[in-house]
Amino acid sequence: MKIEKELESKFRNIAHKSMVNLLYTGLALQNFSQEFFKKQEISQQQFNVLRILRGQYPEAASIGLIKERMLDKNSDASRIVERLRTKKLVSRKENKIDRRQKDVLITQKGLDLLAELDRFDTNFDTIFSEFSEKELKKLNKTLDKIRSEVKKRSKKIPN
């Protein structure tokens, strides 16, 4: 459905329409994934941390590394790790070199949960099944370009 009909709105120009459309679509994807994670009793941010830790496995990761790699840069990685620890999905211990640092390692239970959740990736794939590879490559290129422009311009936002 076209964004104008969905929101019953008019836009001041094509750039404004594109911005609203992108934000609205991003929220639709986020809501779609939140429903899935709610059923699994974890949050999107917890899932993101588990995937980061699986990528590091069998090595541990610092909280700083987790923060750097998280999709949502506003998330509190320490709090997310603590929630995952209470669920026994990760373990946390002092770093041998720097006692102020904590090393976080995904547990077997965490790896097993991710293996189970990997089927979700195929659920997302079905959303994009109506698009050709060429269309998806163009979409990715466009999204990369938008993100690059956002980063450039965010440095110029006045206080």
Could you tell me the domains of the chain? 1-40 (no CATH), 41-122 (1.10.10.10)
Q: How confident is the model at residue 153 (pLDDT cuts 50, 70, 90)?
A: confident
Cα separation of the two ends of the chain: 38
Average pLDDT on 94-117 reads: 88
Alpha-carbon distance of 66 to 51, in angstroms, equals: 10
Q: Which residues, including other chains, have CB under 8 Å from residue 139's CB and lie 6 or more apart? A: 131
Question: Residue 39: its pLDDT value, please?
Answer: 85
Question: What pLDDT digit, counting tens, does each position of 2-34 carry?
Answer: 888 888 888 999 999 999 999 999 999 889 888
77 CB neighbour count, 10 Å cutoff: 24
**Contact predicate 53/61, CB 8 Å:** yes
Average pLDDT on 134-151 reads: 94
- 3-class state of residue 151 by DSSP: helix
Peptide bond into 158 cis (omega under 30): no
Question: Residue 45: its pLDDT value, please?
Answer: 93
Tell whether the model's pLDDT for residue 124 goes beyond 90.
Answer: no
Alpha-carbon distance of 56 to 130, in angstroms, equals: 33
Question: Residue 159: its pLDDT value, please?
Answer: 63
| 0.85 exceeded by pTM | no
Q: How confident is the model at residue 99 (pLDDT cuts 50, 70, 90)?
A: confident
Question: Chain centroid to CA 12: how far?
Answer: 31
- Dihedral sign, CA of 91, 96, 102, 106? negative
